[in-house]
Amino acid sequence: MRAAVLAALLALLAVGLLVAAGAREAGRERRSVTVEVVTVTDGDTIRVRMPSGRERPVRYIGIDTPETPPGRTPQCHGPQATAANAALVEGRRVRLEFDREREDRYGRLLAYVRRGDVLVNEELLRHGHAQVLEVEPNVRHAERFETAEREAREARRGLWRACDVTGT
């Protein structure tokens, strides 16, 4: 009898530990996810299909590209930035890597976008299609991005050649 009670208590304890571990794991957000790019909205925004099948907009962390608003005149180098982004990711599988804040106030996912070994956010900066945009607390790659922008600006690539842009 005593052994049966002890076995039952140990079983309950084991179940409790498993439930607690599962709850912790479920509450922990994934740091990255592989998705399919459905469409490129502009130079720093895409729409992706999540593993669940749901589509979500994604805003690239750490960069800002010239705007290409539908039905209005695009900003200088906007179409080129959009085309560069499309060439890198459209129709491909990419990995979204999240920083501290995962969504913005518009419901867009905020992510570093990787295609294989290429960090797309940085690649757009390096080729002069974007400027650095640091927004706390998502600044994990800030120094890396600043270096890429400085290289593009000094080499007068992309928008640094085509547009009247002042760099910091």
Q: Is 105 an annotated catalytic residue?
A: no
Which contiguous run of DSSP H or E holds residue 93? strand 93-97
CA 113 to chain centre: 5
Which position among 49, 95, 108, 150 bears the catalytic label?
A: 108
Which position among 59, 114, 126, 153 bears the catalytic label?
A: 59
Q: Is 59 an annotated catalytic residue?
A: yes
Q: Is 108 an annotated catalytic residue?
A: yes
Burial 110-132 (b: 16+ CB within 10 A, else e): bbbbbeeeebbbbbbbbbbbbbb
Which position among 36, 67, 90, 134 bears the catalytic label?
A: 67
Angstrom distance (rounded) from CA 40 to CA 35:
13
Q: Tell me which residues are annotated as active site.
A: 59, 67, 108
